[in-house]
Structure 1
Amino acid sequence: MIEQGQNLPAATLSQLTDDGMVEHPVTELFADKTVVLFAVPGAFTPTCSAAHLPGYVVLADQLKAKGVDIIACVSVNDAFVMKAWGEAHNASELMMLGDGDASFTQSLGLEMDTASFGGVRSQRYAMIIKNGVVTQLNVEAPKTFEVSKAEAILAAL
């Protein structure tokens, strides 16, 4: 599993914008920036939709006031689903990124197999990234939602 002090691995994440599909090389997207990246097991799922994503939407201005350049949500879903989920939650200040084949999630070592529920998914986590280096990593224990919520990351900045 990736650890604090390590560089993010080379990978590509997808984003559907109003101008079409954009493929973001992670090393370029997060270079020379302070980024809050949080991951959810699935778009439109209960905890993710009721608490995790909305927390970052509500606190986006406060996170940016602390020097965060990008707030990004990633899930092992395609970019079409991530765009629709973001729109459903007024997440216009966030980048909604798809990791459709779970390659980014697996390169971090933060995948979990949910079997017939959805297959390989991401564990729930949040990280602070500065110039491509993970400076804070908060991974949730199974079936918990404490350390990756927006309030915890805001307090860590």
Structure 2
Amino acid sequence: MTIKVGDTVPNVTLVRVTENGPDKVEAQEYFKGRKVALFSVPGAFTPTCSAKHLPGFVEKADDLKAKGVDEIACTAVNDAFVLSAWQQQNDAGDITMLADGNGEFAKALGLEMDGSGFGLGTRGQRFAMIVNDGKVEKVDVEAPGEFRVSSAEHMLETM
């Protein structure tokens, strides 16, 4: 079942990228007590993710925070080392990277996708959501091959 507005974020282990290396964190603990703008990309270093998705959230971080967002996070079915390198390459230090290396979070959300046609295996769909104290307030999932409703600009317009 796909996660929807009003649902609680599933409690799976993610790996947060930190200056001191990978740090395991339980999803429900991570989202507890704050408002997080979370977006998911099919993969770090992929074309749309690198050219548009991540840069949009970097550029609009202050605007999102002005609307009450405490933290902006990105998740992908990549390991923490890949996400760390991608974060550094894109000067995205204000974005928290949450590695979902085995795709357990994407699957628990009901938002996994089959990227095997491109040699990617199972990945997370492209989406964006607002999670407030562990509850989903807003969720926008892209149609395959699209990039509209998961952008930082769309999130700002519809908050």
Alignment TM class, shorter chain as reference = over 0.9
Equivalent residue letter for 1:150: A
Task: Name the structure 1 match of 2:40.
Answer: 39
Indicate which of 151, 154, 157 corresponds to 2:153.
Answer: 151
Task: Name the structure 2 match of 1:133.
Answer: 135
Gap runs ≥5 in structure 1: none
Q: Distance in 1 between matches of 2:86 and 2:62?
A: 20
Q: Distance in 2 between matches of 1:133 and 1:15?
A: 20
Q: Distance in 1 between matches of 2:75 and 2:110?
A: 14
Gap runs ≥5 in structure 2: none
Q: Distance in 2 between matches of 1:58 and 1:18?
A: 22
What is the CA distance between 1:156 and its match in structure 2?
Answer: 2.1
Equivalent residue letter for 2:124: S
Higher mean displacement: 92-101 or 16-25: 16-25
Secondary structure of residue in 1 paired with 2:101: coil
Deviations 1:93-124 (A, max 9, x none): 11011100000110000000111521000110
Q: Distance in 1 between matches of 2:93 and 2:57?
A: 11
Instruction: Within 5 Å, give how 1:1-157 maps onto structure 2.
Output: 1-116=2-117, 117-157=119-159
Secondary structure of residue in 1 paired with 2:88: helix
Deviations 1:19-41 (A, max 9, x none): 22211111011001001000000
Q: Distance in 1 between matches of 2:76 and 2:111?
A: 11
* CA RMSD, Structure 1 to Structure 2 (Å): 0.8
Runs of 4+ in 1 over 4 A off after TM superposition: none
Equivalent residue letter for 2:57: Y
TM-score (norm 1): 0.97
Conserved 8 A contact 1:15-1:83: no
Count how many residue pairs are aligned between Structure 1 and Structure 2: 157
What is the CA distance between 1:10 and its match in structure 2?
Answer: 0.6
Secondary structure of residue in 1 paired with 2:69: coil
TM-score (norm 2): 0.96
Identity %: 50
